[in-house]
Structure formats: structure tokens, C-alpha cells
Amino acid sequence: GKADDQAAVGTDFEPDVYKAAKEEFEAIWRQYLSELEVFKLRSAEGEAAPGRLAKDGDEKRLAELATFVSHTCKHYDFAAQRFGPQLCRLLKDRCVGLAPELRLSLVQACVLARSRGLLDPVVLLDLCFELIRRVRDKGLRQYLRDHVVGDVRRAAKGGGG
């Protein structure tokens, strides 16, 4: 019957799907780490001018990869442990020199990592307050304020983690 067909497909098919998904994630994770290192090197050498996207789209690519990884790394321990703290470190070290679009994307990735239990809430709150203090970006500051207020409210209701 139909249930037998689904069970047969499930047992034969799923390991291959999971293996393929893990291999694809690993490839994207390596791309993310590579883009992160290239970005760090370029910004350290002064090649990426603050406040604008790099001419070859490095910052846009880094933002896209960070967003994707923030949505998926929860399922892969090797990435889940490193992602949030690594991103927080980058934001703390380079927040002033980042293009506003990249900075917001990276902060949003940190917030998602925190909501998925991959980043300690105190670490994220510390980052938020530091960014509010150091960055004069009205849109980012509003996003951070909204996040901090919401996170504190959830914690006060017993829903924060």
C-alpha cells in the first residue's frame, strides 16, 4: 500500500538525502569561512573602503553566506559551535569600518543564531550595547534597540533562553 511505499522510500532514500545535504552545507560552510578570511585580510590591508560594498561584491557575498549559515548551521555541530562567537568577534573588531548593509546583515545573523540557541544571550546583548555605543547608524541602532527590548521582555516573561 501507500504507507509501505513511503516507508520503503524513506529507509532507502533518507540517508542519501542527509548525506548530500551535509556535503552541500559543508561546501557552503567552507565558502563562508573563506569569504570571512578574505574579508578580514582585505579590510586589514585597507582594500575595502569603509561604508561601501567592495567592487567585486565580497561584502554582499559574505552577507548572503552568513545569512544562509545562520539559518542552517543549527543542524551541524561543527559549524553551530563556531558561527555565533566568530560573527560577534568580527562585529566587535570591525564594526565601524563595515558597510551599513553588511553590518546589519551580520547583526541579523547573530540575532537568528541567538534565537536558535547557538549564541549566549549575554554575549549578544553585550555586542548590541557595544554597537549602539560605537556605530552612528540610525537604522542599525533602531534594530538593536528593538532586539534588546524584545529580548529583555521575553526573558522577563520566562520565555528567553
Banded pLDDT at 8 (limits 50, 70, 90)? very low
Q: Give DSSP secondary structure letters for 21-80.
A: HHHHHHHHHHHHHHHHHHHHHHHHHT-S-TTS--TTSHHHHHHHHHHHHHHHGGG-HHHH
Residue 12 has pLDDT above 50, yes or no: yes
What is the widest separation between alpha-carbon atoms in the chain?
65
More reliable by pLDDT, 83 or 41: 83
At residue 25, φ and ψ (nearest 5 deg) are -65, -45
Q: How far apart are CA 32 and CA 96, in angstroms?
A: 21
The residue-averaged pLDDT of 103-110 equals 96
The long-range contacts involving 122-129, CB below 8 angstroms and separated by at least 24 positions, are 123/84, 123/85, 123/88, 124/84, 124/88, 124/151, 125/151, 127/88, 127/91, 127/92
Residue 84 has pLDDT above 80, yes or no: yes
Banded pLDDT at 6 (limits 50, 70, 90)? very low
